[in-house]
Amino acid sequence: MRGAGGHGWRAVGLLVLAVGLAVAVLASLRFGSVALSTEAALGALLDFDGSSEHLIVRRMRLPRTMIGLGAGASLAVAGAIMQAATRNPLAGPGILGVNAGAAVAVVTTVHVAGAVTPRSSVWVALAGALTAALLVYVIGAAGRSGATPIKLALAGLVTTALLESWTSAALVLDRRTLDQVRFWLAGSLAGGEPELLWQVAPLMLAGIVLALLLARQLNALALGDDVARALGQRTGSVRVACLGVVVLLAGSAVAVAGPIAFVGLAVPHIARVLTGPDYRWVQAYAVVLGPTLLLAADVLGRVVARPSELQVGIVTALLGAPFLVALARRRSLPSV
């Protein structure tokens, strides 16, 4: 698709992916412990009558589908930005400590306060993600060379390890805290309320718009700092802006759905295979591919363990681990 077709073929490809996303949304509304017909799923949206089938869709499946749309797009775009800004094809949003920071904040709040409301937990998680990302950047920017991609990656690894150790200790020592946060920590779209998504939806939308506006700068950064400077880019400022957008997107997604792995890693690679290295198109494809992958994983988790279900974070980890191994074993990793 990246060759002779040009923009026309990419636009057609994006339209095809949008159809795939619509199919994933419909599957998310239909399948679960109780399978519904297409007519019932669509009727709950277009002609609600208060029946048990319509209530299942409206109260349970529609909210988790909406959260999947927002979280999937946010994680995928954040992953694309991280891979371009760090020139690391194995980078994801978690490299900034966003997941670990959000987890520490929520676990610590529950441990100290005894409980946290769903509405306040969103802002607690977002604050933790922001704090962890700032800590990673401060550590990575220390020294004469500033915040280089390698230093940021190392700072992220160290910070994440420390924060995860704190989270593990708190959960081991306090069973009550574990009972309250275990589903969120596994990464889940279930149990979310529409109000939670509406709180962070403006942040997600702003982050995606900013990411699309930064696409040309990402194209330059992906070529290396020297080339980017020769093209007139202020690499330091652009990288800071990119990291800020990543925190906005990934922090919002983690706040409503918990830490979900591999979406931010895998989707940018799939997008580049389909459309080439131009980040104007990579990001557009990621906006559609991310929620498609996340909703498909969520539906799979509901179906394979019926009448129970696997949390979507577990499913993405099971699917993403082989992908990561295959990617790491390639002789030459794809260009970011």
Residue 103, in any domain of the structure: yes
Q: 138-176, pLDDT tens digit by residue? A: 898 887 777 777 888 889 899 999 999 999 998 988 888
216 in helix, strand or coil?
A: helix
Q: Is residue 336 part of a domain?
A: no
Distances in Å between the Cα of 333 and the Cα atoms of 67, 269, 277, 302, 325 are 32, 10, 13, 34, 12
Mean pLDDT of 199-218: 93
> CATH no. for residue 57?
1.10.3470.10
Whether 334 is covered by a domain: the verdict is no
Q: Is residue 1, in this structure, part of any structural domain at all?
A: no
pLDDT band at 193 (very low <50, low <70, confident <90, very high): confident
Q: How far apart are the first and last CA of the chain?
A: 17
Per the prediction, the chain carries an average pLDDT of 87
Give the Cβ contact number of residue 324 at 10 Å.
16
Q: Could you tell me which residue, 319 or 68, shows the higher pLDDT?
A: 68
Question: Mean pLDDT over residues 77-98, rounded?
Answer: 87
In this prediction, residue 75 carries a pLDDT of: 96
Q: How confident is the model at residue 214 (pLDDT cuts 50, 70, 90)?
A: very high
Residues of the chain with pLDDT > 90, as a percent, come to: 45
- Judging by beta carbons within 10 Å of its beta carbon (0-12, 13-18, 19+), is residue 3 exposed, middle or buried? exposed
Its domain, for residue 169, covers: 6-329
Give the pLDDT of residue 118: 72
State the amino acid at position 85 in one-letter form: A
335 in a domain, yes or no?
A: no
Task: Specify the pLDDT at position 332.
Answer: 55
Is 257 inside any structural domain? yes
Q: Residue 226: which of 218, 217, 235 has the closest Cα?
A: 235
Enumerate long-range contacts of 146-150, CB under 8 Å, 24 or more apart: 146/236, 147/236, 147/239, 147/240, 149/85, 149/86, 149/87, 149/88
Which of 93-107, 190-204, 226-240, 279-293 has the highest mean predicted lDDT (pLDDT)?
A: 279-293
Question: Whole-angstrom Cα distance, residue 183 to residue 186?
Answer: 5
**According to the model, what pLDDT value does residue 267 have?**
94
The stretch 263-289 carries a mean pLDDT of 93
Work out the percent of the chain whose per-residue pLDDT is above 70. Answer: 95
Mean pLDDT confidence for 287-307: 93
Poorest-confidence range of 41-45, 72-76, 281-285? 41-45
Helix and strand numbers (H, E) in the chain are 15, 0
| Total count of domains within the chain | 1
Q: What is the pLDDT of residues 114-132, one digit of tens each?
A: 767 777 888 898 899 899 9
- Residue 272: pLDDT band (50, 70, 90) is very high
Residue predicted with more confidence, 291 or 111: 291
Three-class SS of residue 328?
Answer: helix
Looking at the predicted structure, is the pLDDT value of residue 228 above 50? yes
pLDDT of 2 > 50? The answer is: no
Q: Are 97 and 160 in contact (CB under 8 A)?
A: yes
Whether residue 6 has pLDDT greater than 80: no
In the DSSP assignment, the letter for residue 191 is: T
Quote the CA–CA distance of 99 and 154 in Å, as a whole number: 16
pLDDT exceeds cutoff 60 at 335 = no
